[in-house]
Amino acid sequence: MASRLPVLLVALSAASLHAQQPVPVRLSFADAIRQATGATQAPPPSVELAGLRTDESRARVTQARSGLLPSVSLGGSWANRTLNPKALGFSFPSVPNLIGPFDVVDGRVQVQQTLFDFSNLKRVSAAKSQVTASVAEGSATAEASAQTVAVAYARATRTLAVVAARRADSSLAAELVKLAVAQQQAGVSASIDVTRARVQLSESNGRLILAESQLERARIDLARALGLDTGTPIELADTLSPALGAAAVPTDRAAAVAQAVAARPDLVAEVARGNAARTAASAISAERLPRLGVAADYGLSGNQWADAISTRGISVQVTWPILDGLRREGRMAEQNALVEQSDVRARDLRQQVAADVDGALLDLRSAAAQQMISGDRLRLATEEVSQARQRFEAGVAGNIEVINAQESLVRAREADIDARFAALVAKIALARSVGSAHTLH
């Protein structure tokens, strides 16, 4: 029984560790984009913060609107006083030098209502424009998040393809070691051929270890981009295929630029910020106009609550600002400068939009040409390995030709993976340039 106890403890420990391992999250490219844009219940922190900033701007609308709504307050007081009539200018023989002490009680309801304030109306409009800008900024944040996650997913699929290629390299190197040993035992080749083959196998295994480490790092980066715990195991549902990275993007350059100018959320946000600044400037200018309001109060006052009597008051107030030490003019100049800054940024963004579209289309064409070349190169490198292997098996050449051909195949596989990755990144950049990164799938 004592001899079985260590085995039982080891088994229980292994079962406990297995139970504590988190369940892998199988994630497709489209699912990652949806999560990046906040379409799920767990958006990345940047998208969540953008939503909170939108809520903040909506709260400012309520604050600005409060100046147009009634203000109601309740007040009550009790005081016990003594008065010196002489201090008030009363000096009569019949009036004592000290009056009191006596109680004074007062309870009152006060209501104030603005009847006309054009400046406040403009401030409400400016706050609403800020909400529009904040919503557009949230869309821009979601677009940027979608691009970040898309590129992170693309890098993960690239490293996954590299791992698969390195495993194929290691398998081929192991086969060539067996072939070199067989040729040596048959007396066809020298010992150096076996040594070369084993060196190549060692290099292939080292590259495989490095590629697997890079894959785990890519998964960590993807989890971080999605706002997940970096210890979350992610299983990629998609591979680095030509179908990956499709989006609602026009194929024509002019149509793509037109869509970008109309739909790029960062440009929409900048235009909305400019409109908000103009409305705020109008609100400052409207402060020169008269403001009309009404105030009323009703309550009870007296020496005791039992004998208190009702009193009321109502007033109409007109305020017409004339001069405030040029403070209003300074605020107007500051706001106009903000408007001009927004116009400059919007103009620059329109030019940047066209540059982004042109650059993405250029990268896409370049990647397509690279894919054609790398495909031919991979096919030729595969044939070279096959032919060099046949010559080595026939004993008409040493395995140095096989080793060289194997290295060419390694580089050809890398070039093919890089070309497919470049094409995917170009498609992501094109979708982002027209404001359609959220449609990537």
The confidence band for 109, taking pLDDT boundaries of 50, 70 and 90, is very high
Residues with Cβ within 8 Å of 161's Cβ and at least 6 positions away in sequence, in order, are 239, 240, 417, 420
What is residue 58's predicted lDDT score, i.e. its pLDDT?
92
- What is the pTM (predicted TM-score) of this model? 0.81
Distance of CA 175 to the CA centre of its chain: 48
pLDDT of residue 427: 92
Indicate if the pLDDT at residue 1 is higher than 50.
no
**pLDDT by residue (tens digit) across 175-200?**
888 888 888 887 777 788 888 888 88
- pLDDT tens digit sequence for 122-179: 889 888 888 988 998 898 899 899 999 999 999 999 999 999 999 998 888 888 888 8
Say how many C-beta atoms besides its own lie within 10 A of residue 354's C-beta: 15
CATH for 31-69+116-287+327-434 is: 1.20.1600.10
Residue 119 CA from chain centroid, whole number: 36
Within 13 Å, how many C-alpha atoms sit on residue 116's CB side? 11
Question: Are the C-beta atoms of 227 and 25 separated by less than 8 Å?
Answer: no
Contact 413, 378 (CB under 8 A): yes
CB neighbour class for 261 (10 Å; exposed up to 12, middle 13-18, buried from 19):
middle
Residue-by-residue DSSP string for 279-327? HHHHHHHHTTS-EEEEEEEEEEEESSGGG-EEEEEEEEEEE----STTH
The percentage of the chain sitting over the pLDDT mark of 90, rounded to a whole number, equals 34
Is the distance from CB of 232 to CB of 21 less than 8 angstroms?
no
**What number is the average pLDDT over the span 227-247?**
87
Asked if 146 and 225 touch (Cβ cutoff 8 Å), the reply is: no
Query: Residue 253 pLDDT > 60, yes or no?
Result: yes
Place of tokens 């000096």: 91
Lowest mean pLDDT among 79-88, 105-114, 353-362, 390-399: 390-399
Residue 108, beta-bridge partner list:
75, 299
Residue 402 and residue 79: Cα distance in Å, rounded? Answer: 107
Q: Which two tokens stand for residue 399?
A: 């395995």
**Residue 4 in this model has a pLDDT that exceeds 60:** no
Rounded distance between C-alpha atoms, residue 153 and residue 27, angstroms: 10
Closest CA to 196 of 175, 169, 177: 177
3-state secondary structure of 75: strand
Q: Where is pLDDT greater, at 367 or 4?
A: 367
Query: Averaged over 243-260, what is the pLDDT?
Result: 88
pLDDT band with cut points at 50, 70 and 90 for residue 357:
very high
Residue of 302, 257, 222, 297 whose CA lies nearest to 32: 222
Tokens describing residue 297: 């109060």
- Nearest Cα to 51, choosing from 126, 137, 144? 137
71-83 sheet: strands from edge to edge: 71-83, 99-116, 291-302, 309-319
- According to the model, what pLDDT value does residue 20 have? 54
On the 0-12 / 13-18 / 19+ scale of CB atoms within 10 A, 28 is middle
For residues 113 and 293, is the Cβ–Cβ distance under 8 A? yes
Contact 265, 136 (CB under 8 A): yes
Convert the pLDDT of each residue in 62-105 to its tens digit. Answer: 998 888 899 999 999 999 888 888 787 777 777 787 888 888 99
What is the Cβ-side half-sphere exposure of residue 101, based on CA atoms within 13 angstroms?
A: 5
CB 43 within 8 A of CB 227: yes
| Top-confidence residue, 397 or 434 | 434
> pLDDT tens-digit profile of 154-166?
999 999 999 999 9
Q: Which residues contact 189 (CB under 8 A, 6 or more apart)?
A: 180, 183, 392, 395, 398, 399
DSSP annotation of 418: H
Closest CA to 171 of 214, 213, 211, 200: 200
Do residues 179 and 74 touch, judged by C-beta distance below 8 A? no
Cα gap 277→132, rounded to integer Å:
12
Q: Phi first, then psi: what are they for 369, rounded to 5°?
A: -65, -40
pLDDT of 21 reads 62
Name the 3-class secondary structure at 71. strand
pLDDT, one tens digit per residue, over 194-227 is 888 888 888 889 999 999 999 999 999 999 988 8
Q: Which two tokens stand for residue 273?
A: 């910020």
pLDDT at 73: 93
Give the tens place of pLDDT for each residue, 298-337.
Answer: 999 988 888 889 999 999 999 898 888 888 889 889 989 9
The pLDDT of residue 71: 92
**What percent of the chain is predicted at pLDDT more than 70?**
95
Whether pLDDT at 32 is above 70: yes
Mean of the per-residue pLDDT values of the chain? 86
- Assess whether pLDDT exceeds 80 at residue 10: no
Res 388: pLDDT:
85
Measured between its terminal Cα atoms, the distance across the chain in Å is 59
What would the pLDDT profile of 33-49 be if each residue is shown by its tens digit? 998 888 777 788 888 89
Q: What is the pLDDT of residue 344?
A: 95
Q: What is the pLDDT of residue 7?
A: 46
pLDDT at res. 17: 39
Tokens of residue 97, six digits: 């030098």
Q: How far is CA 161 from the centre of its chain?
A: 28
Whole-number Å distance between alpha carbons of 390 and 183: 12
